[in-house]
A and B are shown apart, each in its own frame.
Chain A
Amino acid sequence: MKVRFENVSFTYDTRTALKNVSCEFDSGRTILVVGHNGSGKSTFLKLMNGILKPTVGRITLGETITDGKRTSELARLCALSFQNPDDQLFAQTVKKELRFGIDNIGRGDGLFDSIVDTLHLAEHLKSNPYSLMYALRRLVTIGGSAAMGTPILALDEPTAGLSLREKKYLGTLLAFLKARGTTVVMVTHDLNFLLPYADDMLLLSHGEAQFSGERDRLFAGKDARDLMRRAGIGYPAYARISSALDLELPAFSAEEIVECLKKKRAGTTRRTNGRHQLEGA
């Protein structure tokens, strides 16, 4: 489902957290929202999901203009997994937490098993989510939101507190959601892990959108490095390596870089699409 912000501003009491943000993302895309601490990323997700209402401007999800709609109605379009898992957990067992969407919203049939599988949660279904270690609590909240089966899924810092192993599970979930056509919007500082999955980017700085659009268009721009540095997120390590190796365009993972090097040596410089390799892996 499509996401569209038109001149959206949001003010908490007196503090303006988003200023005149306009952006548009097509259905089925994977979008990364990046920016410095306090730049307005979480606020953006909460507006999309409807917990917060724009002070000014208009948000459209698919064909639905969110203005005047109830939060519960909007939650059927966009589920949100919170930055702090403990703000989200509410059920007595992992199973209940994961089934909430299916039982109450009536969406996402058949999703439960796939999500339990993908996130390796089967052995924890009977546990109290609060008794689990941090990484698992995060996986449970991500799984719970994904199991709502909404056409748009918003994840706030999905890799924070995850180690390599759970990040791989998350990667599999992202590939699965991509195949289902879900629009996934993620706030993250973990560009090294998530950039290979991204189609589009939204770059926020002090509440303003510095860039929105295709990931590859951001990185092809001459000012990409400057733009990202000024936004407090630095230039991602794989992109830096790509330019040190004189690759024509930045690559975003070790696999992509090695692939580009091979092509370059074979005399061609066309780059490969990292996602397909990842999905195949």
Chain B
Amino acid sequence: MKIVSLTEFSLSYTKDSPPALNGINFDLNSRESVVVSGLSGSGKSTLCLAIAGLTETFPAMTFKGVIRRSDGANGERARVGIVLQNFYSQITYLRSTVMEEIAFSCENLGLPRQETVRRVSEAIDMVRIGHLADRSPLELSGGEKQKVVLAAAIAGKPDLLVLDEPLSQLDPESTAYLGGVLTELKREMALLIAENDPYFILKVADRLVVLSEGKIVADGPPEEAITRSSVAYLDLPAWTMCVAKADEEGITRENRQAPPYELNYRKAISALKGPN
């Protein structure tokens, strides 16, 4: 089922500024995880905001085209949760503990206390922040705050979860672990994630959308989309970069069937091991 669908959608933040999104055609289906990549300024955050229905808050914004949101299972609007690029602004600080801060997101949905308690402890376990549950949200490190905001969004159990660079402050172990968590989550909800980390993309994305100057330049299964877009827009895995460099210097294995980018780790290593 389609959750959101954009047709020839363009958006400018002010009347005189160039479009931040330009002629976008894009459907997002339920239980699909789509990662959006591209250089900064390519429109990733704007696409996240537009799909979450938050661009309307920009007073001077103008748009063209159609954005259609489908109804949820019981005829209600599909519910959207979002973690902003500037997630610091999403902590309310109205509550004295992390647990209560996360509960706030459920209370806003009007959930009964019991259900709230259940969801909060589930989200805390999922994001592995049990050690922070009783701490004050004011007194956390950057990465700890990012995890709290993510947990609050997950506890809301939206139909679509939009995450704008959700890993920017996380340590590598957390990044790897939460990649797995998000892969599990897509059984319950659709995911739209703005992210450039190639390891994360290959692990989590069903579909990769690459943006450049407000336009979609590739859209498809990650390997395909990466192969079709220019390396100038995308971060690639370390082994892929090594093979590309080695190809350039003509020192890869001779009989290598050279694909543009070798994304498979084992094949990359064997190509690099060379002739012998």
Question: What residues make up the interface of A, taking CB atoms closer than 8 Å to B?
Answer: 12-13, 15, 35-39, 41-42, 83-84, 86, 133-136, 156-157, 160-166, 189, 191-192, 229, 232-234, 237-238, 240-241, 244-245, 253-255, 257-258, 261-262, 265
Asked whether, in the complex, the Cβ of A254 is within 8 Å of the Cβ of B141, the reply is no
Asked whether, in the complex, the Cβ of A83 is within 8 Å of the Cβ of B235, the reply is no
Asked whether, in the complex, the Cβ of A241 is within 8 Å of the Cβ of B239, the reply is yes
Asked whether, in the complex, the Cβ of B88 is within 8 Å of the Cβ of A265, the reply is no
Chain B, range 236-254, C-beta contacts under 8 Å to A: 237-239, 241-242, 244-246, 249, 251
Closest to A83 in B: B142
Residues of B within 8 A of A265 (CB): 251, 274
Residues of A within 8 A of B175 (CB): 189
A232 contact from B42, B147, B173, Cβ within 8 A: B173
Return A121 CB to nearest CB of chain B, in Å: 14
A and B contact pairs by CB, cutoff 8 A, 17 listed: A12-B139, A36-B171, A36-B173, A38-B141, A38-B143, A42-B141, A84-B88, A134-B45, A136-B40, A156-B142, A161-B40, A189-B171, A191-B172, A232-B171, A233-B171, A241-B268, A254-B238
Asked whether, in the complex, the Cβ of B176 is within 8 Å of the Cβ of A234, the reply is yes
B242 contact from A86, A160, A241, Cβ within 8 A: A241
B273 close to A (CB within 8 Å): yes
B169 contact from A12, A37, A136, A253, Cβ within 8 A: A37
Residues of B within 8 A of A41 (CB): 141
B100 close to A (CB within 8 Å): no
Asked whether, in the complex, the Cβ of A261 is within 8 Å of the Cβ of B40, the reply is no
B174 close to A (CB within 8 Å): yes
B85 close to A (CB within 8 Å): yes
A12 to B139 CA separation, bound complex (whole angstroms): 9
Asked whether, in the complex, the Cβ of B196 is within 8 Å of the Cβ of A163, the reply is yes
Question: What residues make up the interface of B, taking CB atoms closer than 8 Å to A?
Answer: 38-42, 45, 85-86, 88-89, 139-144, 147, 165, 168-176, 196, 199, 232-235, 237-239, 241-242, 244-246, 249, 251, 268-269, 272-274
Interface-central residue, A156, A161, A163, A241, by most chain B CB under 10 Å: A163
Asked whether, in the complex, the Cβ of B172 is within 8 Å of the Cβ of A233, the reply is yes
Residues of B within 8 A of A255 (CB): 245
Interface-central residue, B86, B142, B196, by most chain A CB under 10 Å: B142
Asked whether, in the complex, the Cβ of B242 is within 8 Å of the Cβ of A37, the reply is no
Asked whether, in the complex, the Cβ of B172 is within 8 Å of the Cβ of A166, the reply is no
Return A165 CB to nearest CB of chain B, in Å: 5
Q: Contacts A160-B168, A241-B242, A257-B245: A165 and B142 contacting too (C-beta < 8 A)?
A: no
A253 to B232 CA separation, bound complex (whole angstroms): 17
A40 to B195 CA separation, bound complex (whole angstroms): 26
Asked whether, in the complex, the Cβ of B246 is within 8 Å of the Cβ of A258, the reply is yes
A191 to B144 CA separation, bound complex (whole angstroms): 20
Asked whether, in the complex, the Cβ of A241 is within 8 Å of the Cβ of B142, the reply is no
Closest to A240 in B: B238
Return B275 CB to nearest CB of chain A, in Å: 8
Asked whether, in the complex, the Cβ of B172 is within 8 Å of the Cβ of A245, the reply is no
Closest to A41 in B: B141
Closest to B268 in A: A241
A133 to B13 CA separation, bound complex (whole angstroms): 12
A37 contact from B171, B244, B245, Cβ within 8 A: B171
Asked whether, in the complex, the Cβ of A232 is within 8 Å of the Cβ of B172, the reply is yes
Asked whether, in the complex, the Cβ of B39 is within 8 Å of the Cβ of A37, the reply is no
Return B269 CB to nearest CB of chain A, in Å: 5
Residues of A within 8 A of B244 (CB): 254
A11 to B67 CA separation, bound complex (whole angstroms): 51
Asked whether, in the complex, the Cβ of A164 is within 8 Å of the Cβ of B39, the reply is yes
Asked whether, in the complex, the Cβ of A83 is within 8 Å of the Cβ of B169, the reply is yes
Closest to A261 in B: B251
Residues of B within 8 A of A42 (CB): 141-142
Asked whether, in the complex, the Cβ of A258 is within 8 Å of the Cβ of B242, the reply is yes
Residues of A within 8 A of B85 (CB): 134, 161
Asked whether, in the complex, the Cβ of B169 is within 8 Å of the Cβ of A160, the reply is yes
